[in-house]
A and B are shown apart, each in its own frame.
Chain A
Amino acid sequence: MKQYLMLTNEELKRSWKMIVSVILAMASIEILTVVGRVIYHERQIKEYMSYSKLTESEALRSFGKLSFGLASVYFGYIVLVGIVLVILYAVQIWYRDWFGESKYIYRLLLLPGSRAKIFFAKFTSLALVIISFIGLQWVVIQLSYAIFNWLIKDDYRTSSFNIPIELNQLYTMNLIDTLILVVLALFIVSFLFMLVLLERSYRKVKGLLFIVLEVVAFFIIMVGGMYVIEKLDFFLSQEISAIMLAIFVLYFVYTIWKSLRLLKWKISV
């Protein structure tokens, strides 16, 4: 347990500069897009007023008020970039041990005790990054909403707090939904870990072949399973959800089990 905690700390220590830089950059860009959108909106109204010789209220009536949803319309793209970066980090966290400045993978695999701690240390690092990312995104939304309200004239904005539809799905502020989001993200991380370990174990053509087989198997099990169950028209919707959840949990466990076996028996430096 102590070694697992130390390794997790080591993994985070190796990446913290990169993680903090990315998070700060994303938060700054998000806030700047809100500020920029407000300035742009106000300038547009002023230009419209002087061009059409209208009063402010007339211009607002025909031009429309700015909602927070519209001002934060780019958040979705930035979150998408964040998701891509987390996926890249999930791959990089393994490959840097083979292709970094040193061959740290030798040291890791030679540590006393079970190799499972290597997997779980990397997995925990990713989990912490994902949770921080979601939490900070929530903070950035609140912060940019406060900045939005402070920056824009009251008459120029709608009073309701609404966020873009794609973010609404991600940040419902509901504990269960957030938990589902985290578990789904961790499943993707675990699946990616398994693919990386397959490649690092079998290498080249054989490695690629195993990756393709696992991806195909995943689609057959998850998507195919869902399709068949719905086509059968035999189960209630709650039963379908329970079956899908069971398949998902089993597959999640399988990806971890497979990764641990690869680390123990097949991995190669």
Chain B
Amino acid sequence: MLEVHGLKKRYGRKKPILEGVSFSVRPDSITCLIGLNGEGKSTILKAIMGLVPVDAGTVLVDGEVSREKIAFVPDLQTMPGYMTIGDALLYMSDYYPDWNPKVAEELMGLFKLLTTDKILELSKGNQAKFSLVLGFALDRPYLLLDEPFAGIDLFTKEQIAWIFSSHYMEGRGILMTTHEIIEIEHLIDRVVFLQDGRIIDEHDTEEMREVYGKSVQDRMREVYQR
């Protein structure tokens, strides 16, 4: 289990962006962090990965303070500009002992990505796909995805969404942020609603649908349009 306890973060003298955020991500499930722009969703993911220091709070992975069991796919390119996809794959296998070249190769084929292509010359959709390759090909039980569907076309979204229901998901706990909830609503197991730096609601999606008769989008409207 990935557990986030009491995350607090304030940038300068501004209003705190996170005011004691706590939630958990179960293995073998997809948890979606939902909130309007600027609510601190990406900050939470970065804080979990230690990419922004927090004022308070802890992150535990299976009871330990360790980030080596989490892979992170941010919504931007993180490889040096001069690299080709092939260079980047080599880089990953050199630096990460838990890199799985077989999965990388399979996903590269699935997404029709070429090792000779320069990463920064890829289309937005292919960049998103390649980022997912880098994340999924790490044999780690937890995966954080920051806006994996942002700015990409419908068919690419469908291809990416397919992965979430494929065998690549087995045993993994996923935490993602997205605004494109309609396309993946049927895949999500749990939603966490964030507002004003606090968790204001949390639900298992199945329970929400069966007990309350509401979709995630319905609940979003209730939360953010009231």
Chain B interface, DSSP helix/strand/loop, else mixed: loop
B76 & A110 in contact (Cβ 8 Å cutoff): no
Residues of B close to A100: CB separation below 8 A: 80-81
Please judge, given known A-B contacts A3-B95, A101-B120, A106-B74, whether A14 and B80 are in contact too, CB under 8 Å.
yes
A-B interface contact total, Cβ < 8 Å: 61
Top 8 A-B residue pairs of the complex, sorted by shortest distance between their CB atoms: A101-B81, A102-B77, A106-B78, A107-B78, A269-B51, A268-B52, A103-B76, A104-B80
Q: Is B218 an interface residue (CB 8 A)?
A: no
The 8 Å CB contact of B50, one of A6, A101, A102, A109, is A109
Per-residue CB contact flags for chain A residues 218-251 toward chain B (1 = under 8 Å, else 0) read 0000000000000000000000000000000000
Per-residue CB contact flags for chain B residues 50-73 toward chain A (1 = under 8 Å, else 0) read 111100000000000001100010
Show 14 A/B contacts (Cβ-Cβ < 8 Å), sorted by A.
Answer: A6-B94, A6-B95, A102-B77, A103-B76, A104-B79, A107-B79, A109-B51, A110-B78, A111-B95, A112-B68, A112-B96, A112-B97, A204-B12, A268-B52
A110 & B77 in contact (Cβ 8 Å cutoff): no
Q: How far is the CA of A101 from the CA of B120 in the complex (A)?
A: 8
Q: How far is the CA of A206 from the CA of B80 in the complex (A)?
A: 29
B95 & A266 in contact (Cβ 8 Å cutoff): no
A102 & B79 in contact (Cβ 8 Å cutoff): yes
Per-residue CB contact flags for chain A residues 185-226 toward chain B (1 = under 8 Å, else 0) read 000000000000000010011100000000000000000000
Task: Give the residue name and chain of the A residue nearest to B76 (CB).
Answer: A103
Task: Give the residue name and chain of the B residue nearest to A201 (CB).
Answer: B53
Q: How far is the CB of B198 from chain A (nearest CB, A)?
A: 22
Interface size on B, residues (CB 8 A): 25
Please judge, given known A-B contacts A6-B95, A110-B72, A269-B46, whether A102 and B81 are in contact too, CB under 8 Å.
yes
A103 & B74 in contact (Cβ 8 Å cutoff): yes
Q: Is B49 an interface residue (CB 8 A)?
A: yes
B12 & A102 in contact (Cβ 8 Å cutoff): no
B80 & A102 in contact (Cβ 8 Å cutoff): yes
Per-residue CB contact flags for chain A residues 98-136 toward chain B (1 = under 8 Å, else 0) read 001111101101111000000000000000000000000
Q: Is B119 an interface residue (CB 8 A)?
A: yes
Q: Is A10 an interface residue (CB 8 A)?
A: yes
A102 & B96 in contact (Cβ 8 Å cutoff): no
Task: Scan residues 82-104 of chain A and give those whose CB is less than 8 A from a CB of chain B.
Answer: 100-104
Task: Give the residue name and chain of the A residue nearest to B134 (CB).
Answer: A107
Q: How far is the CA of A29 from the CA of B18 in the complex (A)?
A: 56
Q: How far is the CB of A138 from chain B (nearest CB, A)?
A: 32
17 A-B pairs besides A14-B82, A102-B78, A104-B80 with CB distance below 8 A are A10-B91, A14-B80, A103-B74, A103-B76, A103-B78, A106-B72, A106-B74, A106-B76, A106-B78, A107-B78, A111-B95, A112-B95, A201-B53, A204-B12, A268-B51, A268-B52, A269-B51
Q: How far is the CA of A28 from the CA of B80 in the complex (A)?
A: 31
Q: Is A150 an interface residue (CB 8 A)?
A: no
Interface residues on A, range: 20 to 34
Residues of A close to B50: CB separation below 8 A: 109
Per-residue CB contact flags for chain A residues 160-197 toward chain B (1 = under 8 Å, else 0) read 00000000000000000000000000000000000000
Task: Scan residues 163-199 of chain B and give those whose CB is less than 8 A from a CB of chain A.
Answer: none
The 8 Å CB contact of B78, one of A6, A104, A112, is A104
Residues of B close to A6: CB separation below 8 A: 94-95
Please judge, given known A-B contacts A14-B80, A112-B96, whether A102 and B53 are in contact too, CB under 8 Å.
no
Residues of A close to B67: CB separation below 8 A: 110
Q: How far is the CB of B167 from chain A (nearest CB, A)?
A: 25
B51 & A102 in contact (Cβ 8 Å cutoff): no
Please judge, given known A-B contacts A101-B120, A103-B74, A269-B46, whether A110 and B80 are in contact too, CB under 8 Å.
no
Q: How far is the CB of B187 from chain A (nearest CB, A)?
A: 26
Q: Is A265 an interface residue (CB 8 A)?
A: yes
Residues of B close to A102: CB separation below 8 A: 76-81, 119-120
Q: How far is the CB of B70 from chain A (nearest CB, A)?
A: 9
Q: How far is the CB of B128 from chain A (nearest CB, A)?
A: 14
Q: How far is the CB of B203 from chain A (nearest CB, A)?
A: 31
Q: How far is the CA of A201 from the CA of B53 in the complex (A)?
A: 9
Task: Give the residue name and chain of the B residue nearest to A101 (CB).
Answer: B81
Q: How far is the CB of B66 from chain A (nearest CB, A)?
A: 11
Q: How far is the CA of A6 from the CA of B50 in the complex (A)?
A: 23
Residues of A close to B94: CB separation below 8 A: 6
